[in-house]
């Protein structure tokens, strides 16, 4: 069975590596994008099972990228979880209006990322789908 | 070519300006991003990736993580203090059950307790509230109270309790069996920059801002903070939060 595919949109190389490592260890296939444009292109091309979207990324920011994903019929059904460094309750509202399915405030440790991914798409290669 | 004019120093940018606010937001990002990377790699090591750690290395990595978390807490206190001073800290009121917030907060603080002989007892019922408040700020308050309690406790432990306060609101209580606070010091603990032991020879560290931030955030949420303490027996902080915190003017305008 093919592993579930997670797209990481994150500009910080180290943060990307930390998240990739824990997700790959758990058996997920991990795609990586360094900015919003790359993230949008990869999402259209590969149709991941989940997008983890850092909000403060270069060029197209995470809110805009999420709005664009949710407006495109090819990608609208892919769940998006926003990850933001700015711990503000106002962001919860922003996340909702951009169409994010979930929202995590940094610091988000690797275990927290893994839990969030598991609870949304299920285990890396199981038939069960927690999101449905 | 631009030149600094002789009359005005570039250092005279007013503290209250938008440029200063942008700078603070940027500094928050610049300080926290590398620290989160440090914490992330330490967490991977503690998760046994790529390989399980030998016992001694594990306790060393746990201590490194506790120090990094402490630094994160100092940075948060400092930045919150500056935002409070500038009047930039906004209250975002929502109806929330605080039980999950408190459990997550306790879990985030637990790694600070590197001394395994200490107990950390979390007595949070299935539901706390719901009340109308700013859950992120409640979490900030509780993090500071718990990390303070852990810092000053060498024997015994720390207890986090919560429940209804009998007046429609809730209480969140943090008690410890630590060194306690002398009566003469009690009126000073909420003052900014105040240190129990001044100078660099003191036994316990701290920015001197943690409890100031706690008191000010409590005020913003319309709450009350009571302190009971007995030297060398321990300290109890009881936070009371009303059923409805007042919204900040701009949130009022939107709704």
The larger pLDDT score, comparing residue B13 to residue A122, is at A122
CA distance B233 to chain A (A): 34
The confidence band for A104, taking pLDDT boundaries of 50, 70 and 90, is: confident
Instruction: For residues B177 and B175, give the distance between their C-alpha atoms in angstroms, rounded to a whole number.
Output: 7
- For residue A13 the two structure tokens come to 């190389």
Distances (CA, A) of B221 to B108, B134, B135: 22, 7, 10
Residue B112 is classified by DSSP as: G
Contacts B136 to A, Cβ<8 Å? 87-89, 105
List strand residue ranges (DSSP E) for chain B, in order: 94-96, 119-123, 131-133, 157-164, 170-176, 224-230, 234-241
User: Do the chains contact at B136 and A106, CB–CB below 8 Å?
Assistant: no
Q: What is the ipTM of this complex?
A: 0.86
Question: Which site among A110, A113, A119 would you substitute to test the B interface, given the most B Cβ atoms closer than 10 Å to its Cβ?
Answer: A110
Decide: helix, strand or coil at residue B175: strand
Question: Which single residue is written with the structure tokens 């503690």?
Answer: B46
B182-186 LR contacts (CB < 8 Å, sep 24+): B182/B231, B183/B231, B186/B227, B186/B229
Peptide bond into B105 cis (omega under 30): no
pTM, two decimals, is 0.81
The confidence band for A132, taking pLDDT boundaries of 50, 70 and 90, is: very low
Residue B14 is predicted with a pLDDT of 73
Contacts B44 to A, Cβ<8 Å? 18, 21-22, 110
Contacts B37 to A, Cβ<8 Å? 12, 14-15, 18
Distances (CA, A) of B170 to B126, B133, B176: 14, 11, 20
Instruction: For residues A29 and A117, give the distance between their C-alpha atoms in angstroms, rounded to a whole number.
Output: 12
pLDDT at A131 over 70: no
Residue B216 is predicted with a pLDDT of 95
Helix (H) or strand (E) segment spanning residue A50: strand A50-54
A12 close to A106: Cβ distance less than 8 angstroms: no
pLDDT at A105 over 50: yes
- For residue B132 the two structure tokens come to 């109308």
Interfacial residues of A (vs B; Cβ cutoff 8 Å): 12, 14-15, 18-19, 21-22, 25, 56, 85-90, 92, 105-111
Q: How does pLDDT run along chain B (255 residues), one tens digit per residue?
A: 566 666 677 777 777 778 877 887 788 778 888 998 999 999 999 999 989 999 999 999 999 999 998 898 888 888 889 889 888 888 889 899 999 999 989 998 998 998 888 999 999 999 999 999 999 899 999 999 999 999 889 999 999 999 999 888 999 999 999 999 988 888 888 988 888 776 666 666 677 889 999 999 999 999 999 999 999 899 999 999 999 998 766 666 655
CA dihedral defined by B127, A107, B121, B139, rounded to 10 degrees? -50
pLDDT at A87 over 60: no
pLDDT at A130 over 50: no
Residue B55 main-chain phi, psi, to 5 deg: -55, -45
Instruction: For residues B44 and B47, give the distance between their C-alpha atoms in angstroms, rounded to a whole number.
Output: 5
Residue B40 is predicted with a pLDDT of 95
């Amino acid at each position: 069975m093919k592993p579930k595919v997670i797209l990481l949109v994150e500009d910080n190389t180290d943060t990307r590596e930390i998240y990739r490592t824990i997700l790959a260890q758990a058996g997920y296939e991990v795609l990586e994008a360094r900015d919003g444009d790359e993230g949008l292109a990869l999402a259209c091309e590969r149709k991941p099972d989940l997008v983890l979207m850092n909000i403060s990324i270069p060029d197209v920011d995470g809110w805009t990228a999420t709005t664009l994903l949710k407006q495109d019929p090819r990608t609208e059904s892919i769940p998006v979880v926003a990850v933001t460094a700015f711990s503000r309750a106002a962001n919860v509202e922003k996340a909702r209006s951009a169409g994010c399915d979930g929202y995590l405030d940094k610091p988000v440790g690797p275990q927290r990322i893994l839990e969030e991914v598991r609870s949304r798409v299920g285990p890396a290669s199981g038939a069960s789908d927690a999101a449905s | 070519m631009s030149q600094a004019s002789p009359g005005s120093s570039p250092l005279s940018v007013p503290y209250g300006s938008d440029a200063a606010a942008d700078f603070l937001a940027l500094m928050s990002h610049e300080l926290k991003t590398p620290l989160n990377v440090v914490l992330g790699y330490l967490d991977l090591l503690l998760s046994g990736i790529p390989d399980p750690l030998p016992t001694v290395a594990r306790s060393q990595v746990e201590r490194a993580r506790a120090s990094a978390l402490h630094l994160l807490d100092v940075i948060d206190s400092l930045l919150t203090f500056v935002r409070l001073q500038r009047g930039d800290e906004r209250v975002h009121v929502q109806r929330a059950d605080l039980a999950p917030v408190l459990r997550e907060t306790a879990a985030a603080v637990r790694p600070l307790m590197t001394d395994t002989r200490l107990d950390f007892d979390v007595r949070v019922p299935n539901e706390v509230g719901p009340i109308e408040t700013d859950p992120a700020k409640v979490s900030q308050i509780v993090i500071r109270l718990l990390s303070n309690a852990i810092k000053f406790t060498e024997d015994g432990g720390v207890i986090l309790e919560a429940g209804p306060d009998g007046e429609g609101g809730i209480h969140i209580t943090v008690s410890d069996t630590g060194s306690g606070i002398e009566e003469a010091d009690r009126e000073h603990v909420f003052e900014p920059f105040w240190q129990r032991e001044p100078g660099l020879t003191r036994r316990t560290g701290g920015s001197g801002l943690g409890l100031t931030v706690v008191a000010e955030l409590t005020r913003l949420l319309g709450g009350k903070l009571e302190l009971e303490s007995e030297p060398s027996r321990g300290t109890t902080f009881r936070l009371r939060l009303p059923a409805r915190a007042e919204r900040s003017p701009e949130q009022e305008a939107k709704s």
